[in-house]
Amino acid sequence: MASKHFDLIVVGSGVLGTFHALSAAKKGMRVLLAEKDSYPINATVRNFGQVVPSGMPSQWFDLGVRSTTIYNEIQQEFDISVRNNGSVYIASDDQEQQLIHELKYVMDGRKYDAQLLTRSQCLKKWPSLNETYCKEGLFFPAEISVEPEQMIYKILKYATSKFSEFTYKTSCPVIDCSVENTVAKIVTSTRETFTAEKVIVCNGGEFKLLFPDLFKASGIVVSKLQMLRTLPLPEVKLEGNILTGLTIRRYESFEECPSFATLSLPEHLIELKKWGIHILFKKATDGSIIIGDSHEYADVPKLDDLGFATNHYINELMLQEAQRIVDFDVRQIASSWSGFYPQHKTKGIVEFDIEDKIHIRTAIGGKGMTSGAGYAEASIAKLFALS
Ligand SMILES: Cc1cc2nc3c(=O)[nH]c(=O)nc-3n(C[C@H](O)[C@H](O)[C@H](O)COP(=O)(O)OP(=O)(O)OC[C@H]3O[C@@H](n4cnc5c(N)ncnc54)[C@H](O)[C@@H]3O)c2cc1C
């Protein structure tokens, strides 16, 4: 590596870190992006790849729309696995129908294309849905999906090939980060040091290497999610982001709808809700169907207690509910895994600034693939006072 001084060092190459680094490189900065693993293997590659601004609370909605534009713009130049198949929320009872009507009203106000579809329109568009489950749908045609197992690697390839001043260093755990003589400095596990005008730490759910005491007292909670993937099922017709009744009862955009406060929970959903289960489907490009997810929580000091195993009982609950929604055999499972993401009890993201040189940006929760790119772009503009 020719020089050890950069305009910006970013720690962590998940979606948040990578888009911070890319946004800075686009502005002509010399950037070092440091990743502790040989390639990113955490939340950014373990998710659905659903880019769904429609599910976000209002302040994150705009960042989700901006992220969609960023993804689409890059896709014009370089294949990063974007597919333009939209998102649909399938309502299964009167209360969920009421909520999708209310969200449609909100989205009309924002001039964001939202289309109510009758049951027969839904069944025509997504023939693998169960007629008995689907009452009505709310469709967002502008929404996209990406392939989580490909997207970040493709973005990194795009960034390193397009920007000669973009340096990506893998197998590079950063074990110290400090300010010395008005310059930000990092130390890696191999005792290399690098300096920059600023360091942005996008550490995802890694809270032991840098600033452990700060994170312990931060109010961050880590969520463990369980996911399933079927064998390739090319005959299944379920394109786009498919979100269902429990999602309508969970996503924050619906919380802002008037009737959310009076929502009651039907008996058959009580056990599912207890495990934070809502059912989403996403057909991958190989024809397999990703099904999830569940949520269990632990504070940062207790995060190891979440364990590494996938709980069979939770998978069973998810499969039973999934089978109510679709007409193909959901038990043709090829793999299952756990994913973890940090979130904050009250904030949409956690931001710590140290001497205006070190900027920690993590705990974006379950919206990083949707709003992360737009957030990172705005964050770079703000931190470097760019217009
Ligand atoms: C199962 C699951 C499903 C999800 N589905 C969706 C979805 O459909 N849509 C959506 O919008 N969001 C979804 N999310 C949320 C989304 O995946 C996360 O919000 C996002 O990936 C977080 O990105 P990140 O960059 O903050 O963290 P991460 O992806 O965890 O990346 C952090 C990176 O930093 C590196 N790192 C940490 N510390 C250091 C260090 N000291 N030195 C060097 N490197 C370091 C790590 O190795 C890691 O690669 C889902 C999450 C999960 C788990």
* Protein residue with its CA nearest to atom 14 in ligand 1: 366
* Protein residue with its CA nearest to atom 18 in ligand 1: 368
User: Ligand 1 centre from 266 Cα, in Å?
Assistant: 33
* Protein residue with its CA nearest to atom 49 in ligand 1: 40
pTM of this prediction exceeds 0.85: yes
Mutational pocket test of ligand 1: of 37, 48, 359, the residue with most ligand atoms within 8 Å of the beta carbon: 48
User: Ligand 1 centre from 204 Cα, in Å?
Assistant: 5
Give 332's pLDDT tier (boundaries 50, 70, 90).
very high
What is the spatial distance between Cα 172 and Cα 179, in angstroms, rounded to a whole number? 20
Q: For residue 49, which atom of ligand 1 is closest to its CA? A: 8
What mean pLDDT do residues 221-228 have?
Answer: 98
What mean pLDDT do residues 343-368 have?
Answer: 97
Q: For residue 241, which atom of ligand 1 is closest to its CA? A: 8
What is the spatial distance between Cα 365 and Cα 63, in angstroms, rounded to a whole number? 14
> Residue 176: pLDDT above 80?
yes
Q: For residue 361, which atom of ligand 1 is closest to its CA? A: 26
Q: What share of the chain in percent tops pLDDT 70?
A: 99
* Protein residue with its CA nearest to atom 2 in ligand 1: 47
Q: What is the pLDDT of residue 386?
A: 75
What mean pLDDT do residues 92-110 have?
Answer: 97
User: Which residue, 245, 344, 253, 236, is CA-closest to 290?
Assistant: 236
Q: With a 6 A CB cut-off, is 139 part of the ligand 1 pocket?
A: no
Q: For residue 41, which atom of ligand 1 is closest to its CA? A: 49
Q: For residue 225, which atom of ligand 1 is closest to its CA? A: 1
Q: What is the pLDDT of residue 193?
A: 97
Give 3's pLDDT tier (boundaries 50, 70, 90).
low
What is the spatial distance between Cα 302 and Cα 26, in angstroms, rounded to a whole number? 39
